[in-house]
Chains A and B, each alone.
Chain A
Amino acid sequence: MLCDSCGKNPVTTHIKTIINGELTEYSLCAECAQRLGYGNLLTGLGCDYGSLLGGFFGGTELDDPVRCKCCGSTFDDIMRSGQVGCAQCYHTFYDRLIPLIQRIHGNTRHRGKVPGGGALQSRPQEQLSLMRRELREAIDAENFEHAASLRDRIKELEGGKVHE
C-alpha cells in the first residue's frame, strides 16, 4: 500500500480525521507523516519496531516462551505490534525493553510528576517484592543473565538509591 500523499513510499502511519463531517483515514509513509507533523519519535529515528527489532536481533524470529502473567503477552508480541500488553509487561520484559526505550527516548529517566497515591508500581517496597519474585523465577528457569541484572537492580533499590 502506497502513501496517500506522495504515492511513492510504503505506508507506515494511519491518520484518522474528520473532513467536512465525515470520518476519513489517510495512510502516510514515514517521510510524509514527518513532513505533515504526524511523525512521532520513532519516525524521527527513521525506523519502526520491526527495524528496531532487526537492529537488535539481526532480524531473526525470537522464540521466547516467557509470557507476561497479567496479559499473556510474549516479548515477540510486543515487538510485532509495537504495543506493550499491560503495565506488568514493563516489569516482566524490563531488561529487554530498556534498550528499546533508550533508542526511542535517549539514555534518560523520568523527571516529571510522581503520583501521590494509588500507583502501586511506584512504591519501592512493592517494586522490590515484585522484583524478588521475578528473581526467584529467573533462577528457577536458569535464566542467569536476567537474574544477575535483577539482583543488581534490587541491590540498588535496597541501597536506598530510590528517587524520592
Chain B
Amino acid sequence: MNNPNPGCEEDVVIRTQIHLIRNLTDVPFCAKMSRADRQKLSERVVEAFSGNETLSHLFQFTDMESLSRVEAVSLVERHLVSADFISDRRGRGFFVNADETVSIMVNEEDHIHLQSSEAGLNPQKAFATADGLDDILDKCLGFAFDENLGYLTQNPVNLGTGMRASLMLHLPALREGGGISRISANLSKLGLALRGTFGSGVEPKGAVYQLSNRVTFGLSEQEAIANLQSIAMQLIEQERAARKELAESLEIQDTVSRSLAILQSAKMMANEEFMQLISNVRFGVATGLVDPIDYGEINRLMVLVQPATLTFYSGKKLTPAERRSLRAEKIRDFLKKGKYLWPN
C-alpha cells in the first residue's frame, strides 16, 4: 500500500474538519434576528477581530452580500462555508486565513460557526487550532454558556460542546462491495453519521463520504474526538482490506488504467465524470496500480476544478463547453507535472 505520510492515513482520509458553534449572550439567536440585527452583530465581530492584533493579522473578512454567485458557490466547493450559508447572504459575513484552513461564518444557524481543517486524519491538531481561536473570541465577545447545558445553541440538539468533528473519507472499495448502508446504520447506533456526497439525483454519488459525531452533550470534546478516531481507524482498515482484494481483479485494474488514460488525454471533461475517474485513479495510487501522485495534490485538484471554482479563477464567464475544456486542460497538465500549479 502506498502511504507516504504515516499517521495521517491520507490514502483513505482526505481531510479532517472541526466545527465549533457559539453564540453571544445578549443578542437573539439567528432565527430571531432582523437583517439589521445580523448586520450589527457582523460589525461587532469585525470590530473584535480588528481590535485584536493576532486575529487582525491572520484573518480577512468578506461581506457575503458583496460576492457574485460564482464566488459564493466556490466558497462552498472549497469547504470554507456551508451551502446553507450562501442560500441567504443578507447580513452574513465570514473570516478566512491565508491558507484557507480556518474560517469563521457569522450568522449561519448560530452567531459564530468556526471551522478548522487539516489534511488527512488529524483531529487533534484541527481541534487545538479551533480551541485556541475559541478562547480568543470568547474573551472578545463573551459566549453564552451554562454550567449544566454547556454552550448554548439555537437548536438544542447542538448543546454541550457545540462541536462537530468530521472526516472526509475516500471509500471506493467499501462502496463497490455494497457495504456502506450496513456500516452507516451501525455507525448511527454509535452516535456517528456517515454521509455520502449528493450527485445529480438524491442517492449519493462517488466514493467520498463524510463521517462525523452526532453527540455533543454529556461527553467532552476529547472523548468525542477519540471515539471518532477509533471508529475511523476501523473503517480505514476495512477499506484497505477491501482495496487489496479488489486490486487483484483484472476488471478493476482495467478500469483504473482506462480512467487514468482518459484523464491524461481527454479534451473535454464534465465534473461528475471527473469525480468518478479521479476516484478510480486515487484508488490506483493507493493500491500501487498507478505510479505515486501526492494525495494532497490530488485533493487540491478535486476542489479546484469544481465548476464555480474553475470559473472564478479563470476570471471570466465560461460556457459549459468552455468550462469542460478548461477542466480537461488543467487535469492533463496536473498529471504531467504531478502538481496542481494553477492558480499560483
Contacts and interface: CB of A to CB of B under 8 A. Distances in A.
Interface of A: 4-5, 15-26, 28, 32, 34-42, 44, 70-73, 81-88, 90-91, 97, 100-101, 104-106, 108-122, 124, 127, 162-163
Contact of A19 (B198, B214, B220): B198
A56 B315 CA distance: 57
Contact of A117 (B29, B82, B138): B138
A118 B141 contact: yes
B152 A71 contact: no
Contacts of A111: 160, 218-220, 223
A102 B195 CA distance: 26
B156 A100 contact: yes
A101 B25 CA distance: 20
B234 to A, nearest CB: 17
A18 B76 contact: yes
Interface in B125-180: 131, 134-135, 138-157, 159-161, 163
5 contacts: A20-B272, A22-B73, A83-B154, A112-B160, A113-B131
B93 interface: no
Nearest to B311: A21
Contact of A24 (B146, B161, B198): B198
B84 interface: yes
A122 B156 contact: no
B280 to A, nearest CB: 19
B95 interface: no
Contacts of B144: 87, 90, 119, 121
B307 A112 contact: no
Contacts of A28: 202
B215 A124 contact: no
Contacts of B70: 21
B25 A38 contact: no
A100 to B, nearest CB: 7
Contacts of A87: 23-26, 29, 144, 152
A112 B155 CA distance: 18
Given A40-B214, A121-B25, 4 more contacts: A39-B193, A110-B147, A110-B161, A112-B160
Given A37-B196, A119-B142, A109 B148 contact: yes
A104 B77 CA distance: 32
B271 interface: yes
A109 B131 CA distance: 21
B135 to A, nearest CB: 6
A105 B193 contact: no
- Chain B CB within 10 Å — which of A5, A20, A41, A113 has the most? A113
Contacts of A109: 148-149, 218
Contacts of A163: 147
A153 to B, nearest CB: 10
Given A71-B32, A106-B218, A119 B87 contact: no
B161 A112 contact: yes
Contacts of B142: 117-120
B210 interface: yes
A119 B152 CA distance: 11
B195 A21 contact: no
A119 B25 contact: yes
B188 interface: yes
B195 A84 contact: no
